[in-house]
């Protein structure tokens, strides 16, 4: 078995055995909602898919893998897969490369911003808390589809038990998984799924603060190409007085951030991200992303980390 095959096998085994690819304590997954008094369940829910919450440990695990990628230790990857069946190796990465506390806090703030923006728009959304599941984005991106069927069935049961009809997602990948992929593999998975950006746009929210900013837009491949959410974020920025600029490769022709291959080829992923980051920074010294994976990859590929902001961070300043 190749090292790539072993890594994919570990991700697959984690998903089947532990319902996620990187283990994060349940308390950490739901801590963003603390003190927000969000109702459990309800007809309309906000669904995080654990994407923002997974980014800090993903960063630490990827950094660790990058340092080992070409070392002789990687020859032991097939053995690691066997060990992983009994001991969750992903949970051990926090000891070898501990997630940055500030990264965890930032991820939580992004989710809090999104919820508060929805509430400002008049949307009362519930939350599944510990019942929420990771939807398998990383597996799907790497061509591992079979385990998703069982996860879709489990999630469908949870949603039915909570009388959910409408799902508001917070990131492009979860949007695509629940709106297109899950519905394809499980026809009875029939929910109204919208990304929070679409909801805010439809609600025609009014900014409380006009921001005098020039921002370069990085379109998510998934959100722009597969979900065709392109004009909505631009309208929200424009309404807030923000002058947005676009790199040569934008909208449906957007350039990848390197995220889909970071778990397999972290050095190549960083190379791709670095090129994209440089293109964006030639447009403006402030760049906005709409995906936690894009945000992580782009900002980690350049010394100018503070130049990259999640769209929710900018919208919160303008609309809240």
pLDDT digit string, tens, across residues 157-204? 999 999 999 999 999 999 999 999 999 999 999 999 999 999 999 999
User: Rounded mean pLDDT of 219-232?
Assistant: 96
CATH 3.40.50 domain position(s) in the chain? 207-319
169 vs 220: CA distance, rounded Å: 14
What proportion of the chain, given as a percentage, has pLDDT over 90?
Answer: 63
Tokens of 234: 């631009």
Where does 207-319 sit in CATH, by number? 3.40.50
In tens, the pLDDT along 231-264 reads 999 999 999 999 999 999 999 999 998 877 766 6
Q: Is 245 exposed, middle or buried (0-12, 13-18, 19+ CB in 10 A)?
A: middle
The C-alpha angle 224, 174, 291, rounded to 5 degrees, equals 55
Mean pLDDT computed over every residue of the chain: 84
Tokens of 307: 């130049």
pLDDT of amino acid 63: 57
In tens, the pLDDT along 61-78 reads 665 545 444 544 444 444
276 pLDDT higher than 70: yes
pLDDT category, 16, cuts 50, 70, 90?
Answer: low
Contact 251, 217 (CB under 8 A): no
pLDDT of amino acid 270: 85
């Amino acid at each position: 078995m190749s090292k790539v095959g072993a890594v994919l096998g570990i991700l697959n085994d984690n998903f089947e055995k532990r319902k996620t690819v990187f283990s994060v304590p349940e308390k950490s997954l739901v801590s963003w909602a603390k003190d927000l008094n969000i109702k459990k369940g309800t007809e309309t829910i906000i669904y995080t898919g654990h994407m923002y919450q997974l980014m800090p440990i993903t960063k630490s695990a990827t950094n660790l893998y990058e340092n080992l990628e070409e070392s002789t230790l990687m020859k032991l990857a097939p053995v690691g897969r066997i060990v992983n069946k009994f001991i969750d190796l992903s949970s051990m990465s926090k000891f070898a490369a501990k997630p940055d506390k500030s990264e965890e806090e930032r991820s939580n703030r992004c989710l809090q911003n999104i919820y508060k923006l929805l509430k400002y728009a008049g949307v009362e959304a519930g939350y599944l808390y510990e019942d929420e599941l990771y939807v398998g984005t990383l597996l799907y991106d790497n061509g591992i589809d079979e385990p998703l069927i069982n996860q879709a069935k489990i999630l469908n049961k949870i949603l039915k038990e909570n009388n959910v009809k409408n799902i508001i997602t917070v990131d492009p990948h979860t949007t695509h998984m629940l709106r297109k992929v899950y519905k394809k593999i499980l026809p009875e998975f029939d929910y109204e799924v919208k990304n929070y950006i679409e909801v805010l746009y439809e609600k025609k929210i009014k900014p409380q603060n006009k921001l005098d900013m020039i921002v370069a837009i990085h379109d998510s491949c998934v959100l722009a190409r597969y979900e065709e959410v392109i004009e909505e974020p631009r309208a929200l920025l424009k309404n807030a007085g923000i002058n947005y600029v676009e790199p040569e490769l934008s909208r449906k022709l957007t350039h990848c951030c390197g995220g889909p291959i970071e778990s397999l080829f972290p050095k190549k992923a960083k190379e791709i991200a670095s090129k994209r980051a440089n293109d964006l920074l030639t447009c403006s010294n402030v760049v906005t992303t709409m995906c936690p994976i894009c945000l992580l990859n782009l900002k980690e590929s350049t010394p100018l980390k503070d130049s990259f902001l999640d769209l929710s961070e900018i919208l919160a300043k303008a609309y809240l």
